[in-house]
Structure 1
Amino acid sequence: VDNEEHSFEDWTIRYKSSHILPSKCTDQCENDELCSFCIYTKELHLPHLPEMVFPNNSLEIVHKSGCCIEFNALDALKLVKDENHSVKIACSESWRKARQDSGLVNKTIGDFDWTFKTNYIGSYKNWNSRELTDLTIDKNKLMQREKILLYRKLILFEDELHDNGTSFCSVRIRVMPSGFFILLRYFLRVDGVIISVNDARIYHEFINNYVIVESSQREGKIRDLQIPLAVMNDPDEVTSLIPLIDLKCEKLSLPT
């Protein structure tokens, strides 16, 4: 396990990176003493999990007042819907059959969101004020050259959709002398069918007493987008080319 802790202004940033979730319980868990595998199978109402889940990967940003923003795989997967999903293609059935013998299956596999799509924008604790706002993230300021004091990236979960595309959720943070910027991204590409990106951008300037959370949803049918394959495989390049479905900005105020 790789543990780090860094302090910047009034904030403490904790970063943890570790191995993937095992495919079965190895501790013969009983009662309240549960291993990571048993915690996930108990907490999540999904027929099975993504191929790669990183249960101990987490990013936590804590203000001296106690306000906290955390990112972890369990909370992200809790927002995956256990119901019929609109992406219906032939590979989904073969993909489900390929998982029947996997240790990650804990009940009969039926129709559910096999792309593990999540609208997770982070876990927010101890914030007294959180409201919709017309304030947006200053993209021009983010593009200004500043010294990077800290940069980290974590994968929370990932699945190759039985070799028919990719689905992953990741988070990355960049700390500059002026503030910090976080990008939480769920990315989905089902080859020949659909491409989707759910982003949460979290930005804070140390001179301000608030944090801006900008969440967006983008989705499009691949046949309608006419995007080159090389670009399609690069989430950073392709995101701006996907039609915007929804955009919301929130202002989280720190105690004065």
Structure 2
Amino acid sequence: MIIHGFQSTDVERLADELHMPSLPEMMFGDNVIRIQHGSGFGIEFNATDALRCVNNYEGECLKWPVAKSGRKTDYKKTLLGESLKLKVVPTTDHIDTEKLKAREQIKFFEEVLLFEDELHDHGVSSLSVKIRVMPSSFFLLLRFFLRIDGVFIRMNYTRLYHEADKTYMLGEYTSGESKIANLMHVPPSLFTEPNEISQYLPIKEAVCEKLIFPERMDPNPADSQECTPVE
């Protein structure tokens, strides 16, 4: 098992805390993508909080994939801040994908793997996050991919978009899933390609949110904004 930044005692303690028989084979415990304002509020994505969203019995399902479980791993985000936090409210607004297609200089790009497990050669489970920052906006994509050979494929996405002149971020969470038996019209080679197979998975859940900045915050903090991958 590879767990970056974790000692063996940390592994045992975390597995016990999460009531899981074991953690993913490759868990990058110190890998984080964090977007944080100097006032303290913000959002981050990390492996430990993601595993906390796993149903207590999901761990058994992932390790023994012949168990046909419908339980979900539905990690979306981790909010940061104490006195100041983002306010999350439902919305009907969607991320404007046409703006993401516009030609604009990419000032910063990073992709971070949070965990991966080959499920004892019965499939794969992985969680990764990538972000790109442009002069006028940034876009973040969190992807959970689960394939249990001969059983089903599931993909969860969190998309986060912010325009520089707005006092909020737009978030979209979608979950798609299909039994392998319903994918007989799809070339099996695509089962191992998350970017390709996602279009064949019916959407089971879709949630749109607006993450509103606090009204009271330091307009000119010493460190006004942080957008940092920690590896």
* TM-score, normalization by structure 1: 0.74
Does structure 1 residue 119 correspond to structure 2 residue 85?
A: no
> Among residues 208, 216, 231, which one is paired with 1:249 in the alignment?
208
* 1:146-169 CA-partner distances (Å, limit 9, x unpaired): 111111111111111111111101
- Change in Cα spacing, 1:84 to 1:42, as seen in structure 2 (3 Å) is closer
Looking at structure 2, the residues matched to 86 and 247 of structure 1 have their Cα atoms a distance apart, in angstroms, of 27
**Mapped contact 2:42–2:86 kept (Cα < 8 A):** no
Structure 1 segments, 4+ long, off by >6 Å, are: 84-89
- Change in Cα spacing, 1:84 to 1:46, as seen in structure 2 (3 Å) is closer
1:41 is displaced (CA, Å) by 2.9
**Mapped contact 2:175–2:203 kept (Cα < 8 A):** yes
Looking at structure 2, the residues matched to 132 and 22 of structure 1 have their Cα atoms a distance apart, in angstroms, of 36
| Map of 1:240 onto structure 2 | 199
Letter in 1 for 2:134: M
Looking at structure 2, the residues matched to 169 and 242 of structure 1 have their Cα atoms a distance apart, in angstroms, of 18
Does structure 1 residue 44 correspond to structure 2 residue 27?
A: no
Letter in 2 for 1:143: K
Looking at structure 1, the residues matched to 115 and 160 of structure 2 have their Cα atoms a distance apart, in angstroms, of 20
- Change in Cα spacing, 1:138 to 1:232, as seen in structure 2 (3 Å) is same
Deviates more, 1:218-227 or 1:77-86: 77-86
Letter in 1 for 2:144: Y
Structure 2 unaligned blocks of 5 or more: 216-231
| Map of 2:122 onto structure 1 | 164
Looking at structure 1, the residues matched to 104 and 47 of structure 2 have their Cα atoms a distance apart, in angstroms, of 30
Looking at structure 2, the residues matched to 70 and 247 of structure 1 have their Cα atoms a distance apart, in angstroms, of 21
Deviates more, 1:220-229 or 1:136-145: 220-229
* 1:113-159 CA-partner distances (Å, limit 9, x unpaired): 7x995211110123252100001111111111211111111111111
| Map of 1:54 onto structure 2 | 28
Counterparts of 1:65-214 in structure 2, within 5 Å, are 65-83=39-57, 92=65, 117-126=72-81, 127-214=85-172
Backbone CA RMSD of aligned residues: 2.8
Higher relative contact order (CA 8 A, sep 6+): 2
